[in-house]
Amino acid sequence: MSASARYYECIEDTFEEVENRLEALESDPDVTVAEGVINVTFVNRVVFVFSRQPAVEQLWLATPGGGFHFVWREDDDDWFDTKTNRAFRELLTSELAQHAGEVIAW
């Protein structure tokens, strides 16, 4: 089963937004994008990994705080963690502050 066109639209928009915001940080983290994965290494050597999971139509995020799986909710126009029900942007903002000492405003 292949992912829906809507999934690809949402994941592309989200990855572009994340990549742009990370590259705009003054600390200049190392951002590498390849094969549907964004690897980010911050100045404190902390690594975040964002990956597309089209087979299950999810966005996955790995941080020192854990692994998170997000599904798109059309009614909320955002991704939500499958375990905690936290919104992607809110969870990412929290993880960045806690582990990388970075602040991103959405």
What is the model's pLDDT at position 1? 57
* Tens digit of each residue's pLDDT, the chain (106 residues): 578 999 999 999 999 999 999 999 999 999 999 999 999 999 999 999 999 999 999 999 999 999 999 999 999 999 999 999 999 999 999 999 999 999 987 7
| Tokens encoding 13 | 């928009």
Contact 39, 53 (CB under 8 A): no
State the pTM of this model. 0.93
Domains of the chain: 5-100 (3.30.920.10)
**Which helix (H) or strand (E) is 15 found in, with range?**
helix 5-23
